[in-house]
Amino acid sequence: MNNRTFVSLVVVLAVLVGLIALSRKKAAPTSTGVVGRTGVAVLADLDLNRIEKIRLAKQGQTVEVARRDGKWVVPSLFGYPADYEKVVRSLRELGDLKVGQTVREGEKFLGDFGLPGGTNTAPESRVVTLFDGKDQSLAALNIGNEFALSGGGEFGGGEGRYVRSGNGPVVVVKESLGELTTQNNDWVKRDLTSVASADLVNIEARVSNEVQRVAVLGIEQFKVEGLKEGEEINKDNASKLAAALSNLQFSNVADIAQKPSELGLEKADTVVFKTKDGRTYTVQLGSVSAADSGRYAKLAVTYQKPAPPPLPPIPTTTNKVEIAQATNEVARLLKDFENTASKTAEKAMQESRLFGAWTYVLQSSDCDNLAMTRSRLVKASEKKPEPKKDAKPTK
């Protein structure tokens, strides 16, 4: 072999080695080979009991959930109570994260995994930072794209996600982490009331200087006070009014520093719902919120225990067994009534405390269903077609 042939072989070999190295480097972002200790905690040595604040950040959006005076709140919503169950569930999920797969040299290609710090950060890329009571960071987790987990093994198949703890390696976990969002409304319970129309007795709506009184007689059965000849109830709109409290949610909360006069609540439209079990809900609708397009609303609830239900009579007989059975049945019915009344009173008290501290913003569609005027509740009676007269016989 002469020198020229030898040099040529060396050059070819060097090119082949370079191509192999380049191919391996490009394959690294999609490599799912297990490197390191599978099953190890992603956030090692994390003490959940020390966490006093959760911060979630995503492309300019940031939300914090913090513990104040022993209660979890959302500071960006003026300290509104956070959904305690969700906070606990989220913290436990973070504490239980285990390494499913580790991506070899994944930290060099963060953008390909949708992780913060890369040049191709995905829209769902997020950073979760956990703080202690002194506002010192305890742990930080970068959350990237979803990942299809292969079946079998401890972690099974399904959807996982690329994550990275601090400046550590890129790993895959089996949890989707979908609840860790940066929307402040996702961290509170937005449901305000859950009162079915079948539970109502009557409704009084004071809207636009009009007073409408509607009795709820049954499902889609109503009676509007002052109905005149040639008028009938608009059942569609009456049903919307009766169902307004069935799943009432808020879209935002008002600044607690704002006065009722600033929110249009001094001259509010007012709707009062009375239920069969003794609750009275009052909803006051103020001015339109420029930021949310809904209306400011103040809610209140009171409770007055109703009379017990009709009880079966004690038989007038000398049969002691029958008398004892009837007496026991009456006692059971009264006990059930008292237990139900006690639970209803407790729920009303809890709602009253919450409602009293906050002014909400309700969606415009819910406000439309609440603020029913007479022109929407009542319509002209539909003329019934006259029966056709029999044609006269021809001669």
Tokens of 92: 């436990």
Terminal-residue alpha carbon distance, the chain: 129
pLDDT at site 394: 60
Reported as a single tens digit per residue, the pLDDT across 136-152 is: 999 999 999 988 755 54
Residue 161's Cα: distance from chain center in Å?
Answer: 23
Half-sphere exposure of 314 (CA within 13 A, CB side): 10
Dihedral (CA of 29, 30, 33, 34) sign: positive
* pTM: predicted TM-score of the whole model, two decimal places: 0.80
Beta bridge partners of 81: 73
Spell out the domain ranges in the chain: 29-187, 191-310+355-380
Burial of 204 (0-12, 13-18, 19+ CB in 10 A): middle
Neighbour tally for 135: CB within 10 Å: 9
pLDDT tens track for 136-194: 999 999 999 988 755 544 445 557 899 999 889 999 999 989 899 999 999 999 999 99
Residue 114: partners with Cβ closer than 8 Å, 6 or more residues away: 120, 121, 122, 124, 125, 144, 145, 162
Confidence of residue 320 (pLDDT cuts 50, 70, 90): confident
Q: Residue 312: CB partners within 8 Å, gap ≥ 6?
A: 326, 329, 330, 333
Say if residue 374's pLDDT is above 80. yes
pLDDT per residue as tens digits for the range 61-120: 899 999 999 999 999 999 999 999 999 999 999 999 999 889 988 888 888 888 887 665
- Whether 389 shows a pLDDT value over 90: the answer reads no
Distances (CA, A) of 179 to 74, 94, 126, 320: 15, 11, 12, 62
